[in-house]
């Protein structure tokens, strides 16, 4: 299944490292602010971006398994 919405995305060295689908852009920004407050000195590079993620059912819950598009980035491009 392909999920489309906003995701909280961690970039390391300019590459996508982790991503977490969010219910809304405001929820995404709220979570990003929480993370930035915890890491004041050198915060990780998190961004809230429109995304398309591959989802799979694990134990009755949808979990992301891979990304297709994140912002302007396309996997394999």
Q: What whole-number distance in Å separates Cα of residue 24 and Cα of residue 8?
A: 10
How much is the pLDDT for 24? 94
**Nearest-angstrom CA–CA distance, 32 and 48:** 8
Whole-prediction pTM: 0.84
Half-sphere exposure of residue 30, counting CA atoms within 13 Å on the CB side? 6
Q: How would you write the pLDDT of the chain (77 residues) with one tens digit per residue?
A: 899 999 999 999 889 999 999 999 999 999 999 988 888 777 789 999 999 999 999 999 999 999 999 998 887 65
Q: Where are the domains of the chain?
A: 2-74
Q: How much is the pLDDT for 77?
A: 58
């Amino acid at each position: 299944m392909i999920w489309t919405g906003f995701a909280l995305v961690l970039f390391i060295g300019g590459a996508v490292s982790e991503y977490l689908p969010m219910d809304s852009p405001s929820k995404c920004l709220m979570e990003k602010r929480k993370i930035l407050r915890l890491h004041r000195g050198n915060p990780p590079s998190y961004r809230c971006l429109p995304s398309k993620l591959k989802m799979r059912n694990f134990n009755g819950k949808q979990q992301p398994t891979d990304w297709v598009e994140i912002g302007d980035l396309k996997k394999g491009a």
